[in-house]
Structure 1
Amino acid sequence: MKLHKESKGTILVATIAVAVLGFLAVYFLEIWSLIIIIPLLILYGLVFWFFRVPNRDIVDHKENVIAPVDGKVVMIKEVFEDEFLKEKAIQVSIFMSPLNVHICRYPVSGKVIYKKYHPGKYLVAWHEKSSTENERTTVAVESLTNHKVVFRQIAGYVARRIVFYCNEGDTSKAGHEFGFIKFGSRMDVFLPLDTEITCKIGDKTKGGIDVIAKMKE
């Protein structure tokens, strides 16, 4: 299983913690140490599972808006996007549980025209206000269909570290990685009002593969 590059620090800390706690459990509890060791090993395995990098065949897209993350669609609504677009847009929000792959991918192909990191709170990721009050990043892309699309990584109650690798002027390719969020979190995508939304609330998405919307040329 291939692991994401963001896993190195976390796995090192987890390995040390499991080794130390396991040693102490065996030293003080002897045979009863299994009560501690077995849950530790399960948690240790979940850390590796969280940072897995699945093999996915990413194809080229123009009009299609691709799911930027693995997760569950929790919101589709018309909102006013006041950071970059300064106008009404359709917001599609996808929540990621700690068991989902947490690689963040470009939802559309085009050119990166804006990026910004915002420190903030750590409300639970499915909270509506997390989009504007939590630690988050905002990226805007001028799509191949000549639309401006904004998408936002949002830290959740557990997630405390967001990384994004894109810069203004970069070429974005729908389905390809641009960042990572550690543990529970959310992605919001803001689309033009005339976009055809092809997903619905409750849908499970596979990042880089599933089409969640189509934009008019």
Structure 2
Amino acid sequence: MSKSIKKRPFIHPEGWKFATIFFIVSALTSMLWLPLAIFGFLLTFFTLWFFRDPERNIPQDQNLVISSADGKVCLIDEAYPPEELSMDTAKMKRICVFMNVFNVHVNRSPVLGQAERIVYKKGKFLNASLDKASDKNERSSLVISTESGTKIIVVQIAGLIARRILSFISQDQLLVQGERFGLIRFGSRVDIYMPLDAETKCKVGDKVTAGESILALLK
């Protein structure tokens, strides 16, 4: 299976919508109170920076599980897949990456495979760094089936500030390793589930980069 990844503008289109609103409001406010307008312009630039979407040097290796998110590895454990997937499976290895507001928030596919299922579930907006966020928070689960039949699950979890999870793909779509598949606005977390025998290549506290950093090696 092969498929090229199209290059995109450095700023994701989602960012321009918010930045335009902030800029217009700031321009109008400048005629009333300059300090508030200056704050608004700074917020405009921060919004553009938050929605940056840089290109990445993606390792093309079907045995590797690469990070789906920029951020810090906050948890490595064994857990059952999200209940809404109704998967008849035992516990899987789970590697969780927490994204703060300063990280790139575009998420990428950890492996090459087919988007077998996409399931969204409403929930709370607890701090995404908490363990219970995986069960309690609003989330979107993506099941990817590799050529060998291995199931990899990527769960986008909304955080304390995040209020919307966006998906760029559709069910049954072929995903190239490192391909953009979604985005979470303003601070969040991504959990990646894989077989228990996958060899972990990271540790809690590691800073990782979406599409580049290696999290695990599949057997």
Same fold (TM over 0.5): yes
Q: Tell me if 1:75 matches 2:75.
A: yes
3-state SS, counterpart of residue 30 of structure 2: helix
For residues 44-65 of structure 1, give each alpha carbon's deviation from its aligned partner in whole angstroms, at most 9, with x where no partner exists: 2211110111122334220000
Q: SS at the partner of 1:87?
A: coil
What is the alpha-carbon distance in structure 2 between the residues aligned to residue 40 and residue 13 of structure 1?
A: 10
Which structure has the larger Rg over C-alpha atoms? 1
Per the TM alignment, residue 121 of structure 1 is displaced from its structure 2 partner at its CA by 1.0
Map of 2:17 onto structure 1: 9
Q: Which TM-score applies when normalising by structure 2?
A: 0.89
| Residue of structure 1 equivalent to 2:3 | none
Amino acid at match of 2:152: V
- Aligned residues of 1:58 and 1:176 also touching (Cα < 8 A): no
Q: How well do the aligned residues superpose, as a CA RMSD in angstroms?
A: 1.6
For 1:79 and 1:194, the matched residues in 2 are separated by 13
Aligned mate of 1:149, from 145, 149, 152:
152
Measure how far apart 1:10 and its partner are: 1.3
2:141 is matched with which residue: 132, 138, 146?
Answer: 138
Q: Which amino acid aligns with 2:77?
A: K
> Relative to structure 1, is the Cα distance of residues 45 and 109 closer, same or farther in structure 2, using a 3 angstrom cutoff?
same
Q: Does 1:25 align with 2:33?
A: yes
What's the counterpart of residue 42 of structure 1? Answer: 42
Of 147, 165, 170, the residue aligned with 1:167 is: 170
The 5 Å alignment of 1:178-193 reads: 178-193=181-196
Paired with 1:65 and 1:5, the residues of 2 have a C-alpha distance of 27
With normalisation by structure 1, the TM-score equals 0.89
Structure 2 residue 102 is matched with structure 1 residue 103: no
Percent identity between the two aligned chains: 35
- Specify the alignment match of 2:91 in structure 1: 88
CA–CA distance in 2 between the matches of 1:176 and 1:128? 27
Number of equivalenced pairs: 208
- Paired with 2:125 and 2:119, the residues of 1 have a C-alpha distance of 18
